[in-house]
């Protein structure tokens, strides 16, 4: 577990905090799931490969996850990943992650293989299709593949391991997907400036006001700042709708599973706060908007202490939306 933990911390210190609160065997299972998905993300997002190679490698990754041929060849290919990114650091150690997958309980392993494979194939489909988002439904389709399926994966693991979670399976699966879309919409907002640089702009054309540029990428030109802020407002509104569903998801997890509730609360609260800092903020178009380290620590502490209360989750979410215009802090 030490090697997996090292990979987890190097790829996401914030996410590692939440995983560390989980009980076993969920902690190991979700660690492995997260690292598998980071490999998928590397194959989709990296700047070293042509799209045709990304598609082929994502499909090869799916075959390997299912126990098919080509495992050692793919591991060798991933070991040569040259980018200095968290995703690449995990990809270079794909053999370690796959060995951990092999050791999981068969029921949990089947959940991981199916959902990570489906997500990877969805990434391949969108890599082939390209960054053309005409409607909100187009954006939701993409986000379902990269994040909604993660909500399904987690929900299935929770139902497998936690008493009381499987009482409303269809409702939990629907809300789990919405939870994933919430976090991904906030990621889209945080990454607007960075995604532009790799020619992916996750702004549906129908989010643009009349008289806007034909291409969403042109939103970043100073002349179109009004249209860009209009599109940002639409994305913020969308994220808020999904985050309401995320809160409903957490309320359905029995309070006796406190560690699991905190695991879900932390990304929820981080997303709520990041969204508050991004709302009506033109800086989002030029650089990443981030919480302070102090805010991360405070949110984590408060969730641990007060997260038993469903009413408190709603109250604290509202509190996190309050931003001091002068300082950017509560």
Burial of 142 (0-12, 13-18, 19+ CB in 10 A): buried
Per-residue pLDDT of the chain (330 residues; tens, 9 = 90+): 448 989 998 888 778 889 999 999 999 999 999 999 999 999 998 888 999 999 999 999 999 999 999 999 999 999 998 888 999 999 999 999 999 999 999 999 999 999 999 999 999 999 999 888 989 999 999 999 999 999 999 999 999 999 998 778 899 999 999 999 999 999 999 988 777 766 778 889 888 887 565 566 777 788 888 888 888 999 999 999 999 999 999 999 999 999 999 999 999 999 999 999 999 888 888 888 889 989 999 999 999 999 999 999 999 999 999 987 654 444
Domain ranges of the chain: 1-105
C-alpha dihedral (303, 246, 38, 198), degrees to nearest 10: -120
pTM reported for the whole predicted model: 0.92
């Amino acid at each position: 577990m030490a090697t997996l933990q090292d990979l987890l911390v190097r790829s996401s210190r914030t996410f590692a905090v939440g995983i560390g609160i989980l009980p076993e065997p969920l902690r190991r299972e979700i660690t492995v799931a997260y690292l598998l998905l980071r490999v998928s993300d590397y194959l989709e997002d990296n700047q070293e490969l042509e799209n045709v190679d990304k598609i082929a490698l994502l499909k090869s990754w799916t075959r390997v996850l299912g126990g098919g041929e080509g495992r050692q060849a793919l591991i060798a290919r991933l070991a040569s990943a040259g980018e200095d990114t968290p995703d690449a650091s995990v990809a270079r150690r794909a053999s370690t992650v796959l060995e951990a997958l092999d050791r999981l309980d068969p029921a949990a392993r089947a959940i991981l293989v199916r959902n990570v494979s489906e997500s990877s194939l969805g990434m391949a489909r969108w890599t082939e299709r390209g960054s053309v988002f005409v409607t909100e439904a187009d954006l939701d389709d993409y986000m379902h593949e990269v994040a909604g399926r993660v909500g399904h994966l987690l929900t299935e693991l929770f139902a497998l391991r936690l008493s009381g979670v499987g009482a409303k399976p269809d409702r939990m699966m629907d809300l789990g997907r919405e939870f994933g879309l919430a976090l991904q919409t906030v990621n889209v907002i945080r990454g607007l400036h960075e995604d532009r640089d790799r020619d992916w702009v996750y702004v549906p054309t129908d989010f643009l006001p009349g008289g806007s540029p034909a291409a969403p990428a042109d939103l970043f030109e100073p002349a179109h700042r009004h249209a860009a802020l209009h599109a940002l407002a639409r994305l913020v509104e969308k994220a808020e709708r999904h985050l309401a569903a995320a809160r409903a998801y957490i309320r359905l997890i029995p309070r006796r599973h406190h560690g699991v509730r905190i695991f879900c609360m932390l990304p929820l609260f981080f997303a709520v706060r990041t969204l508050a800092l991004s709302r009506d903020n033109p800086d989002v178009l030029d650089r990443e908007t981030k919480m302070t380290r102090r805010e991360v620590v405070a949110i984590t502490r408060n969730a641990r202490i007060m997260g038993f209360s469903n009413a408190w989750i709603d109250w604290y979410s509202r509190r996190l939306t309050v931003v001091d215009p002068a300082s950017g802090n509560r």
